[in-house]
Each structure stands twice: as structure tokens, then as C-alpha cells.
């Protein structure tokens, strides 16, 4: 039961820290205000309203009895007396009946109290209206062939202190909640900045505007994250420098070997050795490409349609089909995005006679689907093919060049942009690669 309650609360409660903290601060204030209002309304206002209404009805009953008495038929005297002492305005309407249409409000405390006190005394021979006039109540009582109409102030049955009470209990609460909102916004802003910086750093972007602020714990977390970020950047920089040195050191002897092979008299043997050297160079380039996939390129706006058209333009148009729905733009590092898509398309061309590329749009992602009609791979190999230097040598061919880094590089780049890449069986009997990239 508690597990189900926790699930319901997780769905109902807001996800962001600011709104959760606001609920923690505002909920007790609102609950306290509601409790005080209910207690006041029930124990003070209703009792005061009931007493005032009962007193008013007694005055009206006295007037009604005096009017019906044979000894006090001086109507003008009664009218003036009640107007002077009780602030009543009395009209006697001969030959009229009280309205049949009720105008009292069913759920109004004032109307309900007046109705409760009038009914035991006058039965159904009364009618009142508290809506037509702002500050007056129109009360009518049937007496034989006459109607006694009485106008009296609403303040006689509704305490005026209620509005003041509601104002003074609501206004300070609003002020306190507004102050809490300003305070919480200032306290949660450093956490939001830290989370955004972590997200940007996770995508491979530069984070240079991170400054510690806020509470001591948040400042400490920001400083530690900044130190960690600098250590990682230093490690990546050292790796890039090391790879540059390895590239230079390895290319120099390979170039000398090529020159020596060019001067050999046995051309057949030289050609075979030159092919081996070319393959070594390609393996070296693929490795360097994988190791440098997290480049320091800035994020820009990328037109995915144009990127796909440029990549497919390098191949024979009869060997692919490109289906697109609309122009889609994303934010990312253009060269890396192009490299990841190129690796997937090149991989499809390597194992299929024809490929099928589709670009479509979901609620928050650009979806790129690349299918081929090649031999495909088994489902158990879907995760393995994303491992560096892994090759499926059974169904995807032993004679294909490469060292098994194409999909590894593609996955690394796409995930660094907050996207996803997945494999499944194509309807063309080959492999289907689905790339999702956020806008």
C-alpha cells in the first residue's frame, strides 16, 4: 500500500526542486490559514451571524404583531419609529402578494441564517432578496391582503469584520509566500546552474562560466565539480597530445617504407606490401578518429536534411533511397554529427547492395533510419558491434576493410549529444540503424 502511495505522490508532486521547496514552505502556511478560517467561520462568524439574524427577526416579528394589533394601527407612527431606531424602511402594499419566485441563495451563509430564523415564525408567508441591492435586504411578509415590505441594511445580519479578517489573514500569507518564492529562487539558482553545467560538460561543450554561489554546501559541490572538470579536460588534452605524437612517429616510418617499396625491382611483392601499409594507415586513422571523437568543436545550428544530402551525394544515387518529411534543425557539433552519420551510412553500403535512408520528426527528436538489404546480424550481436575493434566475421563478411570502430565512434558522438542509436532487423532483410538526436 505504501509503495502504491509513493507512486501516486511521485506522479502528483512536481519534478523540479524549486516547486518542491515552494510546496514545503507554502503548504503549512496555507493549511494554517484554512484551519484558522474554518475555526473563525464556524465558532465566531456563524454564531455572530445567527445572533444578529435572530435579533433582527425578533424586531420584525414585533413590528408585524404591532401592525396586526387593533390598538396600534397608526402605521405612520410605527414606520417612523422603526426608521429612527432600527434603520428600517417600511412600505405597506395593499392588494399585493409576495413573489412566488425565490431569490435567496441556497449556499449563502447570510441567506441560510435568515431563512432558518424566519421559517419557524412566518412559515411560507415571507420572501426576501439579498442580491438586487448591494447594501440592503428586501424582506416582504404577507399579511391578509397586504404585504409589509421592509428594507434594512445587510450589516444587521452579516458582521462587517469578516472581510477585514479575511483580508488580514490572506494578505500577510501572500506576502510571506512571495518572500519565500524570492528566497527559494535565489537558493535554487546555483543548483540549476550546476546541473546545466554538468549537462553541457557531459555533451562535450566548454564550461567556462561556472562560478560558486549560494549556500556553503552548494559552493563546495560547485568547486569540486570544477576541479573534476579541469582534471578530465587535462587528461583529454594529454591524450590528444600523446595521440598526435604517436601519429607523427608512426607516419614517418610508414612513409619511408612506401618510398623504399617504390624503388624495389619486384613490383608484385612491392604492390602487396604497399597494400598492407595502406591498410595499416587506415587502421591508424580509424583509431585516431575514435580517440578524438570528443573534439572541442562548438555547438551550432545544423540542418539535418542538408547534412544527409551532402553525405549521400558521394554515392551512386541508384544505390539508395532517401525519404524526408520536413526541414529539421538540431543543435550540435557539425563535423562530429556528420562523421557519425557517415560511419553508419558507409557501414550500410559496405554490406548491402542498396540502402534506405529516412528522416522524420518526433515530439522532441530528429529520427534518422538507415536500412540495408545485406545479410544482417543476429540479435545477440547488437550490443557487441558497438564495442571498439569488434567485428562480426560470420555474416557481415571477412573481406571488408576497417577495424571495427565505425559504429563505436557513431555511438560515442550521438550519446555525447544526448541522443541514442539502436539496431534492429530491417524490413529489407538486412540491418536497420535508428538514430535519435534531440532538437
| Residue-level pLDDT, tens digit, the chain, 439 residues | 556 667 777 777 777 888 888 888 888 888 888 887 777 766 666 777 788 888 888 888 887 877 776 555 566 777 777 777 778 888 888 888 888 887 777 777 788 888 888 888 888 889 999 888 888 899 998 887 788 888 988 888 876 666 677 777 788 888 888 888 888 888 888 888 898 888 888 777 778 778 888 888 889 999 999 999 889 888 877 777 777 677 777 777 877 887 777 777 777 777 778 777 877 777 777 666 655 555 556 788 899 999 999 999 888 888 899 988 788 899 888 888 888 899 899 888 888 889 999 999 888 889 999 999 888 888 888 888 888 777 765 444 444 555 567 788 888 888 888 889 999 998 888 899 999 998 8
Question: How far is C-alpha 308 from the chain's CA centre?
Answer: 32
Can you give the pLDDT at residue 397? 46
Which cell is 433 given?
A: 540503424
Residue-level pLDDT at 102: 77
Fold for 11-159, please state it. Beta-Lactamase (3.30.450)
What pLDDT is recorded for position 413?
85
Tell me the three cell numbers of residue 98. 409576495
DSSP label of 206? -
Contacts of 173 (CB under 8 A, 6+ apart): 29, 30, 33
For position 436, what pLDDT does the model report? 93
Q: Quick one: cell of 101?
A: 419566485
pLDDT value for 297? 67
CB 209: neighbour CB atoms within 10 A? 8
Interacting residues of 114 by C-beta distance below 8 A, sequence separation 6+: 53, 56, 57, 104, 128, 130, 137, 157
Q: What angle, rounded to 10 degrees, do the helices at 75-86 and 46-68 form?
A: 160
Looking only at the bridges linking them, the beta strands covering 320-324 and 329-332 are unpaired
Written out in words, the top-level CATH class of the domain with range 300-438 is: alpha beta
Residue-level pLDDT at 394:
47
Taking a C-beta distance cutoff of 8 angstroms, is the pair 362, 337 a contact? no
Contacts of 157 (CB under 8 A, 6+ apart): 49, 52, 53, 56, 110, 113, 114, 137
φ and ψ of 88, to 5 deg: -95, 150
Nearest to 110 by CA among 46, 184, 200, 41: 46
Residue 46 CA to residue 192 CA, distance in Å, equals: 49
CATH architecture type of domain 217-291: Orthogonal Bundle (1.10)
What are the extents of the domains in the chain?
Answer: 11-159, 217-291, 300-438
Neighbours of 293 (CB within 10 A): 19
Strands 355-361 and 320-324: parallel
Amino acid at each position: 500500500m505504501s509503495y502504491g502511495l509513493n507512486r501516486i505522490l511521485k506522479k502528483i508532486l512536481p519534478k523540479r526542486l524549486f516547486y518542491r521547496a515552494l510546496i514545503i514552505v507554502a503548504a503549512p502556511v496555507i493549511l494554517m490559514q484554512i484551519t484558522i478560517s474554518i475555526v473563525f467561520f464556524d465558532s465566531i462568524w456563524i454564531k455572530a451571524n445567527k445572533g444578529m439574524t435572530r435579533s433582527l427577526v425578533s424586531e420584525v416579528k414585533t413590528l408585524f404583531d404591532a401592525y396586526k394589533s387593533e390598538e396600534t394601527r397608526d402605521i405612520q407612527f410605527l414606520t417612523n419609529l422603526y426608521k429612527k431606531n432600527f434603520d428600517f424602511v417600511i412600505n405597506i402594499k395593499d392588494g399585493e402578494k409576495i413573489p412566488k419566485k425565490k431569490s435567496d441563495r441556497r449556499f449563502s451563509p447570510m441567506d441560510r441564517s435568515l431563512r432558518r430564523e424566519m421559517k419557524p415564525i412566518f412559515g411560507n408567508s415571507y420572501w426576501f432578496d439579498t442580491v438586487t441591492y448591494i447594501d440592503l435586504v428586501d424582506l416582504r411578509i404577507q399579511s391578509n391582503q397586504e404585504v409589509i415590505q421592509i428594507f434594512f441594511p445587510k450589516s444587521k445580519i452579516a458582521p462587517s469584520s469578516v472581510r477585514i479578517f479575511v483580508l488580514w489573514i490572506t494578505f500577510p500569507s501572500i506576502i510571506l509566500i512571495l518572500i519565500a518564492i524570492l528566497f527559494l529562487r535565489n537558493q535554487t539558482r546555483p543548483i540549476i546552474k550546476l546541473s546545466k553545467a554538468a549537462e553541457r560538460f557531459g555533451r562535450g561543450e566548454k564550461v567556462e562560466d561556472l562560478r560558486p554561489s549560494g549556500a556553503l554546501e552548494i559552493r563546495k559541490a560547485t568547486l569540486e565539480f570544477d576541479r573534476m572538470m579541469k582534471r578530465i579536460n587535462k587528461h583529454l588534452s594529454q591524450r590528444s597530445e600523446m595521440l598526435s605524437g604517436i601519429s607523427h612517429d608512426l607516419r614517418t616510418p610508414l612513409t619511408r617504407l612506401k618510398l623504399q617499396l617504390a624503388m624495389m625491382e619486384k613490383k608484385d611483392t612491392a604492390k602487396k606490401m604497399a597494400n598492407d601499409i595502406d591498410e595499416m594507415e587506415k587502421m591508424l586513422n580509424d583509431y585516431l578518429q575514435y580517440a578524438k571523437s570528443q573534439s572541442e568543436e562548438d555547438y551550432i545550428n545544423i540542418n539535418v536534411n542538408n547534412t544527409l544530402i551532402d553525405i549521400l551525394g558521394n554515392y551512386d544515387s541508384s544505390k539508395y533511397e532517401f525519404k524526408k518529411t520536413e526541414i529539421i534543425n538540431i543543435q550540435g557539433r557539425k563535423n562530429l554529427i556528420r562523421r557519425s552519420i557517415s560511419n553508419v551510412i558507409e557501414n550500410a553500403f559496405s554490406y548491402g547492395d542498396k540502402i534506405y535512408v529516412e528522416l522524420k520528426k518526433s515530439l522532441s527528436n530528429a529520427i534518422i533510419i538507415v536500412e540495408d538489404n545485406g545479410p544482417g546480424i543476429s540479435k545477440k550481436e547488437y550490443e557487441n558491434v558497438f564495442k571498439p575493434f569488434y567485428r562480426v566475421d560470420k555474416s557481415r563478411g571477412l573481406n571488408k576493410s576497417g577495424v571495427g570502430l565505425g559504429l563505436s565512434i557513431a555511438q560515442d558522438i550521438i550519446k555525447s549529444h544526448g541522443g541514442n542509436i539502436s539496431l534492429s532487423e530491417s524490413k529489407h532483410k538486412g540491418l536497420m540503424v535508428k538514430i535519435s538526436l534531440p532538437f
